[in-house]
Chains A and B, each alone.
Chain A
Amino acid sequence: MKPTAIDARRRRLAQFALAGTALALSGAARATQEQMAAAITAFTGGAAPKQGKVTVDVAQLVDNGNTVPVTVRVASPMSAAEHVTAIAIFNERNPQSDVAIFTLGPRSGKAEVSTRIRMATSQKLTAVARMSDGSFWSGSADVIVTLAACIEGEG
């Protein structure tokens, strides 16, 4: 059978898809798991956060990585004696591991913060909470992103 214009277009699409995969895999300006761990260590001052108490509420499948609504909740009575003093959000594969650091206090009443973030690709989000007693707790969520936030002309 003679190759038609449609076949040619299919081949071009296949090449485009391959190129896209290669770009996603190269990711020179992307942070890594190690960088995220380093950013978390910098926030905690060397302490390893314990798992639990922190919930990262985010859609599992995200259509548009340019604005991803995220809510972080921490189980805490938020009293003068026992409260959350800070919540930090980190990501694995954006160019920078830091997303945001929120400062809270006993006057917050409820340890819950919402914002909208950018995600360069499918990855894990981790939130770390600093408590008034100096302990650190963390929670994470995996997110699949179909349309990435544009970085380095990929978008």
Chain B
Amino acid sequence: MARALVTVPATARRGEVIEIRALIGHAMETGYRPGPDGKVLARDIIRKFTCRYNGEQVFAAELHPAIAANPYLAFFTVATASGTFEFTWEGDKGFSQTETARIAVT
């Protein structure tokens, strides 16, 4: 399990635009870089990130090797109701990780 860090405000007013930041520990090996033996290392990146808010997708990203190691994404969404954010990262070599965060909307 890679270490993931997700920042979601604990509380928000209904209709407020909130910022969400997601960071995950991953080497994002580009597939263009030689290893210690001089051979090019195989690509190993996170290809897809999705953020679901109470089950509905509010943000998604398709990532390519040009994204830096430990991919960081910051985006916005409207706080509509109390509930759960679900963040999923999927990538090469069967990489898949899900994190959740709760928000209370008043």
Contacts and interface: CB of A to CB of B under 8 A. Distances in A.
Interface of A: 29, 66-68, 71, 91, 94-96, 98-105, 107-110, 112-119, 149-153, 155
B30 A151 contact: yes
B80 interface: yes
B78 interface: yes
A34 to B, nearest CB: 18
28 contacts: A67-B69, A68-B68, A94-B65, A94-B66, A98-B64, A100-B61, A100-B63, A101-B62, A102-B60, A103-B60, A104-B75, A105-B58, A108-B59, A108-B77, A109-B18, A114-B73, A115-B68, A115-B71, A115-B73, A117-B68, A118-B67, A118-B68, A119-B66, A151-B30, A151-B32, A152-B33, A153-B34, A153-B38
A100 B78 contact: no
Interface of B: 17-18, 30, 32-34, 38, 53, 56-69, 71-78, 80
A34 B53 CA distance: 39
Given A107-B78, A113-B74, A95 B59 contact: no
A111 B77 CA distance: 9
Listed from nearest, the 10 A-B pairs whose CB atoms lie closest are A109-B17, A114-B74, A110-B76, A103-B60, A109-B78, A67-B68, A116-B68, A101-B62, A99-B66, A98-B64
Contact of B75 (A66, A96, A108): A108
